[in-house]
Amino acid sequence: MRLYNSLSAAKDEFIIPTNRPVTLYVCGVTPYDTTHIGHAHTFLVFDVLVRYLRWQGAEVAYCQNVTDVDDPLFERAERDGIAWRDLAQREVERFQVDCAALNIVPPTFFPRASEEITTMLPIIEKLIALGHAYVHEGNVYFSVQSDPDFGAMARMGYDDLLSTANQRGNNPDDPHKRDPLDFILWQTGKPGDPTWESPWGMGRPGWHIECSAMATRYLGPQIDIHGGGRDLLFPHHPCEIAQTESVTGLRPFASFWMHAGLIGLDGEKMSKSLGNLVFASDAIRDHGANAVRWYLLSFPYRDDFSYERSDVIRTTATVERLQQALAVGGGRATALDLSRARAAFDAALADDLNTPLALDIIKGMSGDILAAAAEGRDIRAAQTLLQELVDVLGFKR
């Protein structure tokens, strides 16, 4: 199998291990609002990856976290007058309902940052002891200058790294920092924020350390594949790399970094902050889970694209034709042989999860089965194969 690796900026060969599980970590949701279609796209991509690997006979240990210690959650809870834990619980439950509706396989591990604080503290302490982090008035910062390879995966110069980080939550004017790009590991927090005990006083973890702690706790110090949306290409994932490799002394932290494209609406990125969201539950209600899944998988997973409701509606007819092909009865004439389609389907997904091509193969098989059924041919083996491949792509029966 070949996967595009953001670390090397190339399609690299991924060899499925035979003596242990494939380890996969995917950055999960910050649970302060219901699942939007951008979330659905990212998790569908990795759902297909998990299904394909298991179809190949691999065992997969899949960890997906919940970022329930973060500013957006606390700010929304304060705005709505609800306890942050209650808000997080409500939205996590909604997220799980949406994922189940889309037939997304649950992860093996589903940890919440709020329950992993004691895992984070020793990592931060070790980073300080090793000279990669420093303390100032109860705040702990990672020193990017201590890691000569910091941000390498993003392939930007310092100024662009800083500009991008600033757009995504970095405070370059923090007077406690030695370098404007240094990132927070532990912070005292704003008044009213939840806090936990630490060697540096009451406070809470920074965003990046949460994922490093959960990934290494549940999957080990080095993992096979780390994934998320393309917006995590910097600063989140390079910060994870820097702090994890600095603590473990092992490189690479993740052998493959996979980033799913972002979904826009009316020419803008779809995001909670912009308020231009298409919620997964609404799309499923309006079009059906299989049509939504087909539509989202019809784009190369690394590409950004614009969500078009009219295109989802057109997808409905394709899904109905697939269902007809699986349900139609045949005859006893010459059996339809679609074994070549199986090999082509396998080759498509083995080539960096080429789901658009895999869907085209499924579509062609559906047409062949319907045509053969009309001719009175035996289509039972072809239907069994079609169902097998449809299951790999995760469509609901």
For residue 277, is pLDDT > 90? Answer: no
Q: Across the strands, what pairs with 215? A: none
What distance in Å separates the CA atoms of residue 70 and residue 93, rounded to the nearest whole number? Answer: 18
pLDDT in tens, 143-194: 999 999 999 999 999 999 999 999 999 999 999 999 999 999 999 978 888 9
Dihedral Cα 271, 274, 275, 280, nearest 10 deg: -10
pLDDT at position 190, please? 81
For residue 266, is pLDDT > 90? Answer: no
For residue 273, is pLDDT > 70? Answer: no
Q: Is residue 259 very low, low, confident or very high in pLDDT (cuts 50, 70, 90)? A: very high
How many C-beta atoms surround the C-beta of residue 115 within 10 A? Answer: 12
Helix H or strand E segment including 116: none
pLDDT in tens, 37-58: 999 999 999 999 999 999 999 9
Portion of the chain with pLDDT greater than 90, in percent: 94
For residue 320, is pLDDT > 80? Answer: yes
pLDDT at position 272, please? 64
Tokens in use for 345? 């389907």
pLDDT at position 161, please? 98
Angle at 213 between CA 89 and CA 253, to 5 degrees: 130
pLDDT at position 255, please? 98
**Interhelix angle 117-129/207-219, nearest 10 degrees:** 100
What distance in Å separates the CA atoms of residue 82 and residue 76, rounded to the nearest whole number? Answer: 8
pLDDT in tens, 112-137: 999 999 999 999 999 999 999 999 99
Q: Is residue 246 very low, low, confident or very high in pLDDT (cuts 50, 70, 90)? A: very high
pTM for this prediction: 0.96
For residue 27, is pLDDT > 80? Answer: yes
pLDDT at position 271, please? 67
- Name every residue whose Cβ is closer than 8 Å to that of residue 259 and which is 6 or more positions away in sequence: 6, 227, 228, 229, 230, 232, 233, 302
Tell me whether residue 177 is exposed, middle or buried, using C-beta atoms within 10 angstroms of its C-beta: 0 to 12, 13 to 18, 19 or more.
Answer: buried
For residue 276, is pLDDT > 80? Answer: no
pLDDT in tens, 218-231: 999 999 999 999 99
Average pLDDT over residues 61-74: 96
Angle at 199 between CA 193 and CA 202, to 5 degrees: 20
Burial 351-378 (b: 16+ CB within 10 A, else e): ebbbbebbbebbeebbebbbebbeeebb
Q: Is residue 25 very low, low, confident or very high in pLDDT (cuts 50, 70, 90)? A: very high
**Average confidence score pLDDT of the chain:** 96
- Name every residue whose Cβ is closer than 8 Å to that of residue 314 and which is 6 or more positions away in sequence: none
For residue 289, is pLDDT > 90? Answer: yes
Portion of the chain with pLDDT greater than 70, in percent: 98
pLDDT at position 191, please? 85
- Phi-psi category of residue 151: left, alpha or beta, with phi > 0 → left and psi -120 to 50 → alpha: left
Beta strands in the chain (DSSP E): 2-5, 10-13, 22-26, 60-64, 133-136, 139-142, 183-187, 204-205, 223-229, 254-260, 263-265, 268-269, 305-306
CB 340 within 8 A of CB 364: no
Domains of the chain are 16-115+261-307 (3.40.50.620), 309-397 (1.20.120.640)
